[in-house]
């Protein structure tokens, strides 16, 4: 039996196939791209969990201080008592700013956003580099601890001076969290409030290849210095899609004003397809691992302050948005109102994030430097085809 001739494949590819063959695989926003390995932290969206150097972040928040977590991120392991004491002693000894540095901060325009002033104050520190000696990695570790120690003083000094108040010198008998309250307000609040603040610093410390850390790693990869990497990180963190969201959350809650207005507000926002600050995440799609711990701090602060308004607004917005859109709150959602209840002005929330994230940025700087490859992706050109330069008289 004669076999039926199979249909010959057409030699000419269809327009669609031709287009597909030349179209590069563009991952806009680098969605889903694994750019490198890291041993600093692991984000696991499938289980809504996060580990720093192998430890669950909620366990670190429950059992450790921010100083212990800073040591862990920078060194790879939790400190023993002797190591922690030495680390704390060093951090405390470096808190003071030079007179020239304070003078620079005092000259900043009073209307500048504190993220712009902290970015510039860190950059200034990079210009005052002294000879550190030792191996390059050791010198960078020194610089990292110096920034960890001085950034809170820079933020608090700027906060006091811009409000026409005298700056308050750091104390060496207080933890980092206690000392920050002392330098901002001249007093240290009750233990529960300090603990909530300390926990927020732990939760904000590190989050793998987020936008600001990746920015820092790109800068590091050119063999630039740690100050430049941190300054770039601060610039990226400022944006409201990243760290700036904690300020935007509180501005939003203040605009809503009362729990009674929360439901109509969010329904109107959803109907108008508005971006609701403090919700959504590039990696977590079923909930941010850090939110339950920070929400519990917000509940403690609500009890302590007696101001139930913000938690009321929080619960209504979260219930409706999660149920109806399936989009969950991220860490900025509870930390915005938590910082408000602690008494910090709204424009200090993202600088506080800097105080914490300096640990993650520094750990990534050290890691990138130890095994470097220049980060330089490709782009697909979408502009005009190549053309001749016309004489000026012939140009339209």
List, by residue number, the catalytic residues: 242, 281, 332
Q: Is 50 helix (H, G, I), strand (E, B) or coil?
A: strand
Query: What is the number of the residue whose Cβ is closest to ligand COA?
Result: 280
HSE-up of 187 (CA within 13 Å, CB side)? 5
| Rounded least distance, CB 330 to ligand COA, Å | 4
Select 278 or 360, whichever has its Cβ closest to ligand COA: 278
Residues binding ligand COA (CB under 6 A)? 29, 241-242, 245, 275-282, 327, 330, 332
| Rounded least distance, CB 42 to ligand COA, Å | 17
Q: Is 259 helix (H, G, I), strand (E, B) or coil?
A: helix
Select 43 or 276, whichever has its Cβ closest to ligand COA: 276
Q: Is 200 helix (H, G, I), strand (E, B) or coil?
A: helix
Select 249 or 301, whichever has its Cβ closest to ligand COA: 249
| Rounded least distance, CB 270 to ligand COA, Å | 8
| Rounded least distance, CB 274 to ligand COA, Å | 7
49-52 and 55-56: which strand pairing?
antiparallel
41-44 and 55-56: which strand pairing?
unpaired
Other C-beta atoms within 10 Å of 19: how many?
10
Other C-beta atoms within 10 Å of 51: how many?
18
Cα–Cα distance, 190 to 171 (Å, whole number): 17
49-52 and 41-44: which strand pairing?
antiparallel
Select 58 or 330, whichever has its Cβ closest to ligand COA: 330
Count of positions (residues) in the chain: 396
Cα–Cα distance, 263 to 177 (Å, whole number): 35
| Rounded least distance, CB 246 to ligand COA, Å | 8
DSSP letters along 56-72, please? EHHHHHHH--HHHHHHH
Select 90 or 285, whichever has its Cβ closest to ligand COA: 285
List Cβ neighbours of 3 (8 Å cut-off, separation of 6 or more): none
List Cβ neighbours of 369 (8 Å cut-off, separation of 6 or more): 136, 137, 140, 220
| Rounded least distance, CB 325 to ligand COA, Å | 7
| Rounded least distance, CB 242 to ligand COA, Å | 6
Among residues 266, 269, 276, 281, which one has the least CA distance to residue 331? Answer: 281
Q: Do 365 and 350 form a contact (C-beta atoms < 8 A)?
A: no
Select 97 or 245, whichever has its Cβ closest to ligand COA: 245
Select 79 or 244, whichever has its Cβ closest to ligand COA: 244
Tokens describing residue 334: 């509870």
Which backbone phi and psi does 122 adopt, to 5 degrees? Answer: -70, -40
């Amino acid at each position: 039996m004669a076999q039926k001739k199979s249909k010959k494949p057409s030699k000419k590819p269809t327009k669609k196939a031709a287009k597909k063959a030349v179209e590069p695989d563009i991952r806009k926003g680098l969605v889903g791209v694994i750019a490198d390995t890291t041993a600093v932290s692991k984000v696991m969206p499938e289980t809504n969990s996060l580990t720093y150097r192998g430890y669950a972040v909620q366990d670190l928040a429950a059992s450790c201080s921010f100083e212990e977590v800073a040591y862990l991120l920078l060194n790879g392991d939790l400190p023993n008592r002797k190591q922690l004491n030495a680390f704390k002693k060093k951090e405390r000894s470096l808190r003071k700013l030079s007179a020239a540095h304070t003078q620079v901060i005092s000259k900043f325009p009073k209307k500048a956003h504190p993220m712009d002033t902290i970015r510039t104050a860190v950059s200034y520190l990079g210009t005052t580099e002294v000879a550190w000696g030792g191996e390059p990695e050791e010198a960078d570790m020194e610089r990292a601890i110096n920034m960890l120690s001085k950034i809170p003083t820079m933020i608090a000094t700027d906060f006091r001076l811009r409000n026409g108040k005298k700056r308050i010198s750091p104390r060496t008998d207080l933890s980092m969290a206690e000392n920050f309250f002392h330098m901002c307000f001249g007093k240290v609040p009750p233990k529960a409030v300090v603990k909530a603040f300390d926990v927020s610093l732990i939760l904000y410390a590190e989050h793998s290849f987020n936008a600001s850390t990746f920015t820092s790693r790109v800068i590091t990869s050119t063999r630039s210095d740690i100050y430049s990497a941190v300054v770039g990180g601060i610039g990226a963190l400022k944006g409201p899609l990243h760290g700036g969201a904690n300020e935007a959350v509180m501005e939003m809650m203040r605009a809503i004003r009362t729990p009674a207005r929360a439901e109509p507000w969010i329904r109107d926002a959803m109907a108008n397809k508005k971006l609701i600050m403090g919700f959504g995440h590039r990696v977590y799609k079923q909930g941010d691992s850090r939110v339950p711990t920070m929400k519990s701090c917000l509940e403690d602060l609500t009890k302590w302050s007696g101001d139930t308004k913000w938690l009321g607004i929080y619960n209504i917005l979260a219930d409706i948005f999660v149920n109806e859109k399936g989009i969950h709150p991220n860490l900025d959602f509870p930390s915005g109102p938590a910082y408000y209840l602690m008494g910090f002005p709204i424009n200090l929330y993202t600088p506080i994030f800097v105080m914490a994230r300096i640990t993650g940025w520094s750990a990534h700087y050290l890691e990138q430097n130890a095994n470097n490859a220049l980060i330089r992706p490709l782009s697909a050109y979408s502009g005009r085809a190549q053309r001749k330069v016309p004489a000026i008289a012939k140009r339209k």
